[in-house]
Structure 1
Amino acid sequence: MTGCETDGDVTSAPEETDFSPPFEVIEPAELTSPLVFSSPHSGRIYPPRFLAAAKLDAAALRRSEDAYVDELFAAAGAVGAPLLHAHFPRAWLDLNREPYELDPKLFDGPLPQFANTRSLRVAAGLGTIPRVVADAREIYAGRITLEDALQRIETLYKPYHAALRGLMARAQERFGVAILIDCHSMPSSSAREGGIGRGEKRRLDIVIGDRYGASASPGVVEGLETRLRALGFNVQRNRPYAGGFITEHFGRPAAGWHAVQVEVSRGLYMDEATLEKSARFAALASDLAEVISGLAQDVEAEKTIGGPRRMAAE
């Protein structure tokens, strides 16, 4: 198999390369903002050997995918910020985990001592190499080798995180600060918050996660929340998603690195049964572009983060 075949929005990659390239950095025409955008779960290339080893079809595997999130946040370039996004799917390797959160139930032999086998995410089957998709359905027909997992970590996980670190370091060097917006989506079934009386719940559109204030300046989060609410979105902070490994790892406000996770309800922009974009996709992308533009303006005016910043021209 030498070319790429497509089935709807799912791409099947050549077996000998799997992912070529495994991720992409969409650079702005000119770097003018300390914002950095990352979409680690929107990859939709499913290698033939993955589909052959899985007992689920591609449609079921895509239940874990943050479908089209890279496209929803494509306005990053318009404000002078880069967008990093994976091409490989979350069901193959989850970038929002520690590098070695490995599930003993998935592998055909013992795991090394450095593996974290006891995290809550591993217990749920959602480690670095997931055992299940988002609806708790087992991915593989049998166990896989540790060598396979380590190869994925070395060739996909570590290079992606190195690229993200590089973008953050470049932003800080250029502007004195780096602000990561980690872009995700959530099932509408989990996007609910408690209402008043008889367990009533209302729709939750967007969740902003800052690790309960630990990963970013309050001004960044407040700026995002204010602008989203002004457009009519129902926004919740840190519940049910406070931010995963990426937010925790890259959010070091004292060192000038800020990280915020943004979860968008899939019901706002797609049919969750067919995984097709809905008629509201373009409107949501436009709203997010307005929010991104406003956040970039706030950062430029130093409304969100205190401390020294350097302008791009300096």
Structure 2
Amino acid sequence: MTACLADAIEPAFEVIAPAQCTAPFVFNSPHSGRIYPRSFVAQTRLDFPTLRRSEDTFVDELFADAVAVGAPLMRALFPRSFLDLNREPYELDPRMFEGRLPPFANTRSIRVSGGLGTIARVVGDAQEIYPRRLAVSEALERIETYYKPYHQALRRLIARAQRQWGLAVLVDCHSMPSTSTRDDMARADFVIGDRYGTSCSEVVTEAIETALIARGYRVVRNKPYAGGYITEHYGNPSAGLHAVQIELNRSLYMDEAAYERNAGFSQVKADLAGLMPALFSAVAEGIAPPRAAAE
């Protein structure tokens, strides 16, 4: 899928399902959407390449082999700069809108203050998206039309896995700009986020880390990305629900300025495909469903 403009985004997301689910995994790519509503682009003050800087470009393709080994892959088709699925549903900045936000909106989170709420104020290195305020009704419409159906579908996938296997493991797939890491993180190829050990079993994090290091990558945990709303919200290990975030350094697989795959793309994709069987086996052998553990 290449980036494009469209009058409407229908469908707004896709679930690519395997012929048969063979493991309790769900892979999710909420920021790889590259279909931009024309009406949205016309509202912004940015040129199209700049507007795309929040994309996890090609991440859905990099993890696509999950389907071949027996796990569904869910991906958004609309872009993160239009609506961010890795936020609370109403994480909104009142300075962005004309009119009164609902009283239940979270207007004081760190993400909102940084301009990266459910409706983002900025892309890239703090470049303002809009030249003027938006109507509150527009924000609420995006949430009702895109956010809520997406998360309803994601919950169904997770619930289905848990019903079949007694547990579920959500792998939330993301990318990071090569310029975003600092100091000792500057050379990180992957950042694994498990909310500092609270969103999934150590078995999951350890299996991913071990497989990536064995393939020659530099891997760090939780800094600077410990996992966002999706990892925090869906991860509940005591209930058999495990969620982990994987961030890839974009320079590994793409030309960040041109939004094109680079010579490393095929190798990164193959390496991600190679870690999946090991991850599936580690979970099968190392995590008992809660009801089995109780028995």
TM-score tier (shorter): over 0.9
Instruction: Kindly indicate which of the two structures has a greater share of residues assigned to helix.
Output: 2
Q: Distance in 2 between matches of 1:57 and 1:13?
A: 16
Letter in 1 for 2:104: F
Show structure 1 runs of 5+ residues with no match.
1-7, 195-200
Q: 1:299 aligns with which of 268, 280, 283?
A: 283
Q: In structure 1, what is the Cα distance between the partners aligned to 2:30 and 2:161? A: 19
2:3 equivalent to 1:13? no
- What SS does structure 1 have at the residue aligned with 2:92? coil
- 1:234-245 matches, within 5 Å, as 234-245=218-229
Equivalence for 1:289: 273
Structure 1 counterpart SS, 2:22: coil
> Could you say which residue in structure 1 is the equivalent of 2:96?
106
CA contact (8 A) 1:175 1:309 kept: no
Q: 1:299 Cα deviation (Å)?
A: 2.5
Counterpart Cα distance in 2 of 1:308 and 1:132:
42
- Within a 5 Å distance, the mapping from 1:157-236 to structure 2 comes to 157-194=147-184, 202-236=186-220
Q: TM-score, normalised by structure 2?
A: 0.96
Residue 191 of structure 1 deviates from its aligned partner by: 3.0
In the alignment, the residues of structure 2 paired with residue 307 and residue 101 of structure 1 have an alpha-carbon distance, to the nearest angstrom, of 33
Corresponding residue for 1:4?
none
Which residue number corresponds to residue 260 of structure 1?
244
Q: Displacement of 1:29 after TM fit?
A: 1.3
RMSD (Å) for aligned C-alpha atoms: 1.4
1:15-54 map, 5 Å: 18-54=8-44
Partner of residue 56, structure 2: 66
Provide the rounded CA distance (Å) in 2 between the counterparts of 1:79 and 1:105. 46
Given candidates 257, 264, 282, the residue that maps to 1:280 is 264
The normalised TM-score by structure 1 is 0.90
Q: What is the distance in 2 between the residues matched to 1:78 and 1:237?
A: 27
Equivalents in 1 of 2:275, 2:58: separation in Å?
Answer: 18
Distance in 2 between residues matched to 1:79 and 1:188, nearest whole Å: 30
- The count of corresponding residues between Structure 1 and Structure 2 is 292
Deviation string 1:15-54 (CA, Å, 9 cap, x unpaired) is xxx2110000000111111010000000000111011101
Shift of 1:108: 1.2
Task: Give the whole-Å Cα distance in 2 for the aligned partners of 1:89 and 1:171.
Answer: 27
Offset of 1:180 from its aligned partner? Answer: 0.3
Counterpart Cα distance in 1 of 2:21 and 2:91: 35
SS at match of 1:203: coil
- Structure 2 residue matching 1:259: 3-state secondary structure: strand
Unaligned runs of 5+ in 2: none
Q: What's the CA shift for 1:105?
A: 1.5
Percent identity of paired positions between Structure 1 and Structure 2 = 60
Is the 1:250–1:258 Cα contact (8 Å) retained in structure 2? yes
> Which amino acid in structure 2 is aligned with residue 43 of structure 1?
G
- Do the aligned residues in 2 keep the contact of 1:191 with 1:205 (CA within 8 Å)? no
